[in-house]
Amino acid sequence: MEMNSLAQERKSAQFDVEAMKVVWEGSPEQVQLTQRIGQLVASDPVFRKDNRVSQGRLELFKNTLWKAAHAWSIIQSMHLTEAEALKLRSFIDEPAYTDLHWGMFIPAIKGQGTDEQQQKWLPLAFKQTIIGCYAQTELGHGSNVQGLETTATFDPSTDEFIVNTPTLTATKWWPGGLGKVSTHAIVYARLITDGKDYGVHAFIVQIRSLEDHHPLPGVIVADIGVKFGNGGYNTMDNGLLRFDSVRIPRDNLLMRVASVTRDGKYVPSGVPRQLGYGAMVFVRKSIVMDASTYLSRAVTIAVRYSAVRRQFGTEQGKPETQVIDYMTQQSRLFPLLATAYAYRFLGVWMSWLYSDVTSRLERGDFSTLPEVHACTSGLKSITTSTTADGIEECRKLCGGHGYLCASGLPELYAAYVPACTYEGDNVILLLQVARFLMKTLSLLGSGKKPSGTAAYLGNAADLLAKNCPVTKERDWINLDTLQHAFEARSARLSVKCATQIAAASNQEAGFSEFSSELVDASRAHCELIVVTRFMEALKKEIPGRGVREQLQILCNIYALSLVTARAGDFLVTGYLSSEQLDLAKGQLRSLFRELRPNAVALVDSFNHSDYYLGSTLGRFDGNVYENLYNDALKDPMNASPVTEGYEEYIRPVLKRQLKLANSRL
């Protein structure tokens, strides 16, 4: 019956699934690339992953090394393009040192190295004759980069920097790929020359021998230990690193922004430090795209299983009700489905933003950087937090079976949740957004008009004056009405914070006192950006039968689910009445009913293979129960009908032959 359930669901779809796949992937070519590389990975026994959660840490890590080496062999032998290689590594679906080598080490050299340094280091990195990581975070400092304690002191007598770890808290801690694999690291340290501290700079430091892989003299490097969850991020060798007078050549300082001369003089290059923002936007764009991918995987599992699972029934003799037909299930699940699509369109826009920022920086135009820094900080924060919470919600939506590792959800959560912390703590990032919003409001009196994602604040007076015009449920699916609601919410929360800070004894005291309110204002600003980007995407040509209509429903669900979830914001600012909120809830229920026949087809449009999902509950064919049963019997615990330990520990208890402990009470 469960297999027939998904087949019937697919027959009820009111849109062209293949056309929606193109929307999700971005082009027909990307759809073909996904299918081709996905099949390549799924058909290769080396990339097996169904046994990951039962492996011990050492076996798990060695298996990851095997997969990474095998992937590199395939990339070279098949002459894969950069895009194909990236897709291959993503489909292997296992955090590994290669993520940091290709995703952080190489971009850091590109962004911060001179042309000469890039010519020296990049060919080695591209060939993987050296393997690198990104050593910034320390045991005592993460978000506060300027507080890092590692030092690099220039010695003019030898033309070298001497790298030291002066305190326990200066120990580099967490860099992926560092613990056991990397031969080199981008090390962030305080540059000291001629007795003066010039702040934190990036250095390339070799940490292991290229002959036998042993740590070099003066280097202490190790893995930091087991992390959260089975499998998950335990395939990654997050490491610790300490230096004791480790000497490196002067030109190992990445010198695009500043250099040190042979006699120890610190010389800014004239290249603005803001050029590094391009790399930051690239990383955060990738994080947002990853959020849409991870959330879509969890939602696919939960939607398919909710359509297969039946509980209770309204009429005797008829099949029990599909769980997905319960409003309590839809109200938790469908907003997450809509969010996955919203984040995909957001990621596409951030790709455009990265191109725009890069071209501006090359022309020496830094005008948009404050706004870009703020919006990318906030979007990284809200997308990763929502996705992590969404994966866990999907696990709960799958009931007890969701707790099984066979569901794929526990490991998916464990692998994803670090995103809430790396590349910036999510609360700290929202406070950075808040500073931008407060500064933007402070400049309104001078006649300076906000631009980009903050342009609506230039209309603050109108947004403060006009309340919600909704009088009936259908009014809520008017895009202008939704846009105005989110702009008014954000503007009113920001203005309120600005007023509270202005009344404080000083600005910093006020910022600290009202930091929770500032976080709420920042979240409102960022959610406005997501809603706006979804709406803007719908204004473009979207081919395919019924595709635009389904995306419109999803956009409305995303926006209205936020209106109801953040009802306190809309009510406390006086923008909404309780009656209008009830109308929003009623319209949301209607949208759920419209979406319901298309739910399974919409997750099919994510184009995730069974291999990539790694979930018995989320199988494409819906054959859940038979496979759950068979998987259980194959578990290593069931290799023998009588467990190890029976003779030593169970039999003595049953036969009353247990030796009593000689204890003193």
61, 63, 69, 72: CA torsion to nearest 10: -100
Average pLDDT (130-150) is: 92
Residue 378: Cβ within 10 Å count: 29
pLDDT at 657: 79
Average pLDDT (3-32) is: 94
pLDDT at 665: 53
Do residues 235 and 60 touch, judged by C-beta distance below 8 A?
yes
pLDDT value at 405 more than 80: yes
423 is catalytic: yes
Q: Does residue 573 sit in helix, strand or coil?
A: coil
Residue with the two structure tokens 């292991």: 208
Superfamily of domain 110-265: Butyryl-CoA Dehydrogenase, subunit A, domain 2 (2.40.110.10)
Cα separation of 159 and 249, whole Å?
7
Average pLDDT (628-643) is: 93
CA atoms within 13 A on the CB side of 486: 30
Residue with the two structure tokens 């990851």: 64
pLDDT value at 99 more than 90: yes
pLDDT value at 291 more than 80: yes
Confidence of residue 164 (pLDDT cuts 50, 70, 90): very high
pLDDT value at 279 more than 80: no
pLDDT at 660: 67
In the predicted model, what is the mean pLDDT of the chain?
A: 94
| Range in 51-55, 427-431, 479-483 the model is least confident about | 51-55
What's the token pair of residue 638? 């069931």
- Which CA distances in Å does 659 have to 643, 644, 645, 648, 654? 21, 19, 15, 11, 12
CA atoms within 13 A on the CB side of 418: 17
pLDDT at 111: 87
Cα separation of 204 and 214, whole Å?
18
pLDDT at 171: 98
CA atoms within 13 A on the CB side of 482: 30
pLDDT at 664: 63
Q: Where are the beta strands (DSSP E) in 127-218?
A: 132-135, 151-155, 160-164, 172-173, 184-193, 196-206
Cα separation of 342 and 559, whole Å?
10
Annotated binding residue 151: no
Please provide residue 193's backbone torsions phi and psi, each rounded to the nearest 5 degrees: -145, 140
pLDDT at 232: 85
Catalytic residue from among 9, 138, 393, 423: 423
Q: Give the residue from 570, 555, 586, 595 showing the smallest Cα distance to 471.
A: 586
CA 502 to chain CA mean position, Å? 35
Confidence of residue 371 (pLDDT cuts 50, 70, 90): confident
pLDDT value at 357 more than 90: no
Bridge-partner residues for 152, per DSSP?
163, 191
pLDDT value at 241 more than 90: yes
Residue 494: Cβ within 10 Å count: 26
pLDDT value at 1 more than 70: no
Confidence of residue 2 (pLDDT cuts 50, 70, 90): low
Which tens digit of pLDDT belongs to each residue from 491-535? 999 999 999 999 998 999 999 999 999 999 999 999 999 999 999
Which tens digit of pLDDT belongs to each residue from 438-472? 999 999 888 888 989 999 999 999 999 999 999 99
What's the token pair of residue 510? 């006020």
Q: What percent of the chain has pLDDT over 90?
A: 85
Confidence of residue 278 (pLDDT cuts 50, 70, 90): confident
pLDDT at 336: 98
pLDDT at 661: 65
Cα separation of 39 and 24, whole Å?
19
Average pLDDT (315-339) is: 93
Confidence of residue 280 (pLDDT cuts 50, 70, 90): confident
Confidence of residue 144 (pLDDT cuts 50, 70, 90): confident
Cα separation of 231 and 345, whole Å?
30
Q: Give the residue from 262, 61, 297, 334 showing the smallest Cα distance to 176.
A: 61
Which tens digit of pLDDT belongs to each residue from 573-625? 999 999 999 999 999 999 999 999 999 999 999 999 999 999 999 999 999 99
Annotated binding residue 568: no
pLDDT at 663: 57
